[in-house]
Amino acid sequence: MSFIQQLQAAWQSSDSLLCIGLDPDLERFPQAVASGNDSIFSFNRAIIDATHDLVCAYKPQIAYFSALGAERQLEQTITYIKSTYPHIPVILDAKRGDIGSTAVQYAREAFVRYQVDAVTVNPYMGFDSVQPFLEYQDKGVIILCKTSNSGAAQLQEVELQAQAQEVQAQQSGQKGEPVYEYIARLVAEKWNFNHNCLLVMGATWPQQVARVRSIVGDMPFLVPGAGAQGGDIASIVQAGQTAQGNGLIISASRSILYASAKHDFAEAARTQAAALKNAINQHRTKHAAAL
């Protein structure tokens, strides 16, 4: 089963577009989590067990593990999901992007060492930096397009114009295509030859999400920023969902993981995740029709 097929099955079985980002921050861990060599894995396992029926994916962020030398606990977390809840896809949030020979190793890291189902990548260095990931045909390659951070516009909304059309466009007052639209078109038209591409589209930019949806058709979007970053759920679902009422992997991390700093942290995470799942489903076209 390819990642896209696995994702479609997860959307259906969970009736959810929610993805929980696993960003373990030791400074925010509740006291109920025992300290020690496996504290990160213990925390993640409690969150996963409490929320597994509410999500379509989990998304561990590699920096939170590697900064602490906790790669083994990242491996434990991924293995636990795959052995206990094998129907739930695992996305490695790594945002890799480097020259071709190095990209080959990053692709091996994600798909061979960690055995995740999909990974986030940065297209800034061009096709040869993404190609090694695309060659894993059954894996998802999630390409940064319009990210949720406040500084994204500094590069992603810079307007481009083809050289041959530049003078004419300037004379007519026509605006050029922003970088994020160019990336979306490039991925949809040239890079998605194995039909395993997705795009990162931040929840803080619903108008841009709608624009990219019109460009790429039903290509799935990973949508960060729906929790602590303040993305509006109604706007993002209405802007980004497909005609089938899916097409989105809406990710939240801190707002769920750290819903409580007490012994009930896992139960609080479940409550927060259930509320977010329900809020998303209220605005899904297909889901509303079914009700």
Q: How far is CA 252 from CA 49, 105, 205, in A?
A: 17, 29, 15
pLDDT at 98 over 70: yes
Which one from 82, 95, 146, 286 is the annotated catalytic residue?
95
Position 169 scores a pLDDT of 46
What mean pLDDT comes out for the span 100-109? Answer: 97
pLDDT digits (tens, 9 = 90+) for 120-178: 999 999 999 999 999 999 999 999 999 988 788 778 888 987 644 544 544 444 568 99
Position 165 scores a pLDDT of 52
In the chain, the number of structural domains is 1
pLDDT digits (tens, 9 = 90+) for 201-247: 998 889 999 999 999 999 999 999 875 555 689 999 999 999 999 99
Domain membership of residue 103 as a residue range: 3-290
Tokens encoding 213:
């949806």
Q: How many CB atoms lie within 10 A of CB 218?
A: 11
Which of the four pLDDT bands, split at 50, 70 and 90, describes residue 117?
very high
Instruction: Find the CATH number of the domain harbouring 81.
Output: 3.20.20.70
> pTM, whole model, 2 decimals?
0.92
Which of the four pLDDT bands, split at 50, 70 and 90, describes residue 36?
confident
Per the annotation, the verdict on 95 as an active-site residue is: yes
Percentage above 70 pLDDT, the chain: 91
pLDDT digits (tens, 9 = 90+) for 48-72: 999 999 999 999 999 999 999 999 9
Exposure string over 224-234, b if 16+ CB within 10 A, otherwise e: bbbbebebebe
